[in-house]
A = this chain, B = another copy of it.
């Protein structure tokens, strides 16, 4: 799975933790997934598809696996028929939410200031 760059983080200098953080929340979907989990607490797979309507099944699965592997979310499987899977934030993942909030605030201010 090419999504998993956790072993090839290009850390050559002291600045690399920003690069690391950006690798984890970067890309088109991961921050949005974390944001929704921050808002709703627990989300099932098909609920994600309703919250983030534009995402494909493949990308959703791929990004959820990436976030799980990097310990930002947990995946809880209920052995029922039909299958039921719930996703939620880990403690590490929860610590990211304030940063996402600030990015949201900055983005709103940016639009306002840029267009003045």
- With a cutoff of 8 Å between Cβ atoms, the chain B residues found around residue A70 in the complex are 114
* Interface residues in A21-72 (C-beta closer than 8 Å to B): 21-22, 24-28, 31-32, 35-36, 53-54, 70-71
Q: In the bound complex, what is the Cα–Cα distance between A10 and B27 (angstroms)?
A: 13
**Copies of this protein chain in the complex:** 2
Interface SS of A by simple majority: helix
Q: Are B99 and A20 in contact (CB under 8 A)?
A: no
Please classify how large the interface on chain A is, using the bins under 10, 10 to 19, 20 to 34, 35 or more.
35 or more
- With a cutoff of 8 Å between Cβ atoms, the chain B residues found around residue A108 in the complex are 17
Q: Are A12 and B54 in contact (CB under 8 A)?
A: yes
Interface assignment of A3: CB less than 8 Å from any CB of chain B: no
21 sample A-B contacts, Cβ–Cβ < 8 Å, listed by A number = A10-B54, A12-B54, A15-B36, A17-B104, A17-B108, A18-B100, A19-B28, A20-B107, A20-B110, A21-B103, A21-B110, A22-B25, A22-B26, A70-B114, A71-B114, A91-B113, A92-B114, A95-B106, A95-B109, A96-B106, A99-B103
